[in-house]
Amino acid sequence: MKKNMGKVDRTVRLVVAAILLILYATGVVSGVVGTILAVLAVVFVLTSLIGFCPLYVPIKLSTKKGD
């Protein structure tokens, strides 16, 4: 699994994930929408940590410099 995410992409995902988790934890978003956003936040964190986004593969996208 070759990394396909650059530093900016990873940072933006982590910031968005933090915001989504804060909104969920404080009850600003709840119910089904809150659960979906919380799951999306977890996915953003995981993809940021490993530096690989499987959705980029089919469209041959890479935000990593040098690729």
> Is the Cβ–Cβ distance between 13 and 59 less than 8 Å?
no
The answer to whether the predicted template modeling score (pTM) of the entire model surpasses 0.85 is yes
Residue type, 22: I
Q: pLDDT at position 61, please?
A: 94
What residue segments make up the domains of the chain, in order of their start?
7-56
Q: How far apart are CA 16 and CA 30, in angstroms?
A: 17
Q: What is the pLDDT of residues 35-48, one digit of tens each?
A: 999 999 999 999 99
What is the DSSP-derived secondary structure letter of residue 64? S
